[in-house]
Amino acid sequence: MTPTRRDALRLLGLGAVAVAGAPGCSLLAGTPQPQLLASKAPLPKPFTVPLPVPEVAKPVRSVGGADFYELTERAAEVELLPGLRTGVWGYGGTFPGPTIEARSGRRTVVKLVNQLGEPTVLHLHGGHNPPESDGFPTDLVAPGASREYVFPLEQRAATLWYHDHRMDYTGPQVWRGLAGMFLVRDAEEETLPLPAGERDLPLLICDRSFAADGTMLYPGLAGRPGVLEAYMGGVLGDVILVNGAPWPELRVSRARYRLRLCNASNARAYELSTGGAMIQIGSDGGLLARPRTVRQLRLAPGERADVVIDFSAYKLGQHVELRNLAGEGAQGKVLRFAVDRDETDESSVPARLSTVEALDPAKATVTRDFELSSGSMHGGTGWLINGKPFDPKRMEARPKLGDIEVWRLTSDVAHPVHLHLDAFQVLTVNGERPQGPPEWKDTVELRDAQTVEIVTRFTDYRGRYVLHCHNLEHEDMAMMAAFEVV
């Protein structure tokens, strides 16, 4: 581990007792849970701010079958809460960053220009990325420097997102605004009559907290890695932002909308519901084989879901709230749709969406165990995998290129686990097979004391990647393991 982390842990007194765990759960007593950070700023009434839609990035040039983009990270002042200015770190100075719309199999090159005062790392979450462009947590882009990330996008259509991935600092840097959406489209999906154009909407959901003057609060010390001890379980904001707006409202027509939901929060999981039916058509790794009707949808940090909502089921003038059943009070609200006009709607959701190959665990060459827990590290407390804090030089696994492997993950408290390079399928949760046909995921939430088995195939690239918890405070407090595809 780096000396900086060791020093910081001592400095923050992380050797002391952990904060109280979930009440009434003796097994987990003492294990830190996510903590709410209260805003001091006056907060707007829900549903008074219109939903913004991030700008779609334009390539600076397109040559040789590739699109070249430039993303400049810089500090900017924006209005997130009505009447207040908030300093953010944004890709292109915006929060969220611009949406990149790319095509499967078409090379997309992103030049990241760092105009911030801190090193950064860019990661395309859900991307099937070559190792040198995957944003390994120590592949830093120094202040004033730039780096080209090459994304061949040899993968199916899916809703991806990009965000900062700097070792020990991902939590505060994403919190300050370094996140955006990245859509991959393909020909297969385009033959489907799904809602498109203005009725195909990315919704990046995250929670934040604000000081009285509008500044974002984060319980860390400037220039120090990690988070204050009381928040090592994760930081929960008390303002729910969608595309950077607090509890916004979207006017919709009586037609079908495709909503690409992305949980970009540091530590908050959502249980999303409109009270009516939503049709889920996609997951982290693109379209499901068949649509499934859901009444609520759980999204842990890092996870995405594609849903279609048919607003023709509602009357003109009706309001439809997207709620978070896992949140209390204002954190139980997310977004409101105001049904305000009729529109002819040629879209539909076909009974068959795509083909999802089932990865066969019988073909796995090995089963590996990854145990996620809190524990002591360097005289303090941190989050560990197999009893060890992240060391970028230690390879926890060396899968062979082309091999199928089963990875068995075990949790103490809840951890949304994310695997880089290749998507996976969930085989079992506490020994039970999940219902329905297989789907492609890149992040799976382990609840308290669970064992989840995933199966994946390591394809196309040899090199170093990571597996980590996507609760960003856990990630920064070392819940990460490097592996090398050989």
Give yes or no for residue 415 binding ligand C2O (CB under 6 A): no
**Distance, CA of 454 to CA of 440 (rounded, Å):** 11
* Nearest distance in Å: CB 453, ligand C2O: 21
> Binding partner of residue 469 among ligand C2O, Cu ion, none, CB under 5 to 8 Å per kind?
Cu ion
**Range 1-20, binding ligand C2O (CB under 6 A):** none
**Distance, CA of 56 to CA of 84 (rounded, Å):** 26
Q: Select from 120, 141, 474, 483 the one that contacts Cu ion (CB under 5 A).
A: 474
Beta strands (DSSP E) in 211-325 are: 235-236, 239-242, 245-246, 249-253, 256-263, 270-273, 278-283, 286-294, 297-299, 304-310, 319-324
Please give the C-alpha separations between residue 195 and each of 70, 205, 290, 307, 440, in angstroms, as whole numbers: 29, 21, 16, 10, 22
- Exposure letters 179-204 (e unless 16+ CB within 10 A, then b): bbbbbbbbeebeebebbeeebbbbbb
Give yes or no for residue 285 binding ligand C2O (CB under 6 A): no
Query: Is the separation of the CB atoms in 466 and 136 below 8 Å?
Result: yes
SS3 442: coil
Residue with Cβ nearer ligand C2O (165 or 378): 165
Residue with Cβ nearer ligand C2O (255 or 479): 479
What phi, psi does 173 have (nearest 5°)? Answer: -80, -35
Number of residues that bind Cu ion (CB under 5 A): 6
Query: Is the separation of the CB atoms in 111 and 146 below 8 Å?
Result: yes
Q: Select from 415, 441, 457, 464 the one that contacts Cu ion (CB under 5 A).
A: 415
**Distance, CA of 456 to CA of 312 (rounded, Å):** 40
- C-alpha triplet 273, 276, 279: angle, nearest 5°: 80
Residue 386 CB partners (closer than 8 Å, separation 6+): 369, 370, 371, 396, 481
Give yes or no for residue 420 binding ligand C2O (CB under 6 A): yes
* Nearest distance in Å: CB 160, ligand C2O: 9
Residue with Cβ nearer ligand C2O (71 or 339): 71
Query: Is the separation of the CB atoms in 109 and 151 below 8 Å?
Result: yes
Minimal CB distance residue for ligand C2O: 125
Give yes or no for residue 166 binding ligand C2O (CB under 6 A): no
* Nearest distance in Å: CB 99, ligand C2O: 16
Residue with Cβ nearer Cu ion (175 or 247): 175
Q: Select from 5, 125, 166, 256 the one that contacts ligand C2O (CB under 6 A).
A: 125
Q: Select from 418, 441, 464, 474 the one that contacts ligand C2O (CB under 6 A).
A: 418
Please list the residues that pair with 287 across neighbouring strands. 282
Residue with Cβ nearer ligand C2O (90 or 302): 302
Query: Is the separation of the CB atoms in 266 and 301 below 8 Å?
Result: yes
Q: Select from 252, 339, 471, 473 the one that contacts Cu ion (CB under 5 A).
A: 471
Residue 66 CB partners (closer than 8 Å, separation 6+): 106, 107, 108, 109
* Nearest distance in Å: CB 445, Cu ion: 10
> Binding partner of residue 438 among ligand C2O, Cu ion, none, CB under 5 to 8 Å per kind?
none
**Range 287-306, binding ligand C2O (CB under 6 A):** 302
Query: Is the separation of the CB atoms in 442 and 403 below 8 Å?
Result: no
- Beta strand 333-341 with 249-253 is parallel
Give yes or no for residue 262 binding Cu ion (CB under 5 A): no
> Binding partner of residue 165 among ligand C2O, Cu ion, none, CB under 5 to 8 Å per kind?
ligand C2O
* Nearest distance in Å: CB 161, ligand C2O: 7
**Range 124-153, binding Cu ion (CB under 5 A):** 125
Residue 83 CB partners (closer than 8 Å, separation 6+): none
Give yes or no for residue 123 binding ligand C2O (CB under 6 A): yes
> Binding partner of residue 302 among ligand C2O, Cu ion, none, CB under 5 to 8 Å per kind?
ligand C2O
Q: By the criterion CB under 6 A, which residues form the site for ligand C2O? A: 123, 125, 163, 165, 302, 418, 420, 466, 468, 470
Q: By the criterion CB under 5 A, which residues form the site for Cu ion? A: 125, 415, 420, 469, 471, 474
